Amino acid sequence: MTLFTALMLLLAGLSAGFIDAIAGGGGLISVPTLLWAGLPPQFALGTNKMQSTWGTLIAVIRYSRAGLMNWRDLRPALVVTFIASLAGTWAVTRVSNEWLNRVVPWLLLAVAAYTLLSPRLGRHSVRARLGPGAFALLCGSALGFYDGFFGPGTGSFWTLACLSLLGLELTRATAYTKAVNLASNLASLLVFAVSLRIRFDIAAVMIAGQLIGARLGSGLVIRHGAPLVRVVFLTVVLALVIKLLWDQRLAG
């Protein structure tokens, strides 16, 4: 690894950690950078899980210290998400995800449209439509499996689910999303580690950037709350839509 490559990986980790801590979607930066560094796709995905897990952990710790986590309500979702993500990561090694690749951009576009057309969404807590247990079973199993199997947009889907089904305001929904993302990341990381598809030297460089970026991003969320998250959330969702549609065009 050259000094220039190491610097680019460090900056990519910092940028990805910063964006991930606010609204998710850091993989838009980190995965292409890992591919640019010459890693085969499966090693890029495994190494990305390793480095992103540390940034997510820092964000979760900061949100927890700021009082944005209700760990009693979170516990069922963490368990279900971890198990479902294990199953999804195992399944992706055996079946094609081509269908999801075509459908997900349009689902994300619907998320962005719903958020834009609901300006009051997430400004204040509202009455929950599901209890913590039912929410964990429904969203933890579906989104945990999806994150392990495919991944793009998982944070956006979790945030929208927290807003619309749990009635959380946007800052707390972001914190909840980071916690369940950590659970699914750890599950996927376990599968990739067992299958020896991680470049630990490259991951170490990006982790250094992740720790800085996640600290900066989570600090901004704690200070500025919903208005900042809303802007970054919509930007990331639309960027994901554009990237996935562009990938489809290149593949087709």
- 26-54 pLDDT, tens per residue? 777 888 888 888 888 778 888 888 998 99
Dihedral sign computed on CA atoms, order 23, 43, 194, 203:
negative
The domain in which residue 56 lies consists of: 3-251
Mean of pLDDT values over 150-169: 83
* pTM check: above 0.85: no
What percent of the chain has a predicted confidence (pLDDT) above 70?
87
User: Which is nearest to 218 in space by CA: 51, 50, 14, 60?
Assistant: 60
Domain count, the chain: 1
User: Which is nearest to 239 in space by CA: 108, 100, 150?
Assistant: 108
User: Which is nearest to 244 in space by CA: 90, 111, 53, 92?
Assistant: 111
Q: 94-100 long-range contacts, Cβ below 8 Å, gap at least 24? A: 97/149, 97/150, 100/146, 100/149, 100/150
Range with lowest mean pLDDT among 56-60, 70-74, 100-104, 194-198: 100-104
Q: Per the structure block, which two tokens stand in for 16?
A: 């990805």
Residues 61 and 178 sit within 8 Å (Cβ to Cβ): no
pLDDT in tens, 165-207: 888 888 888 899 999 999 999 998 898 888 788 899 999 999 9
pLDDT value at residue 123: 59
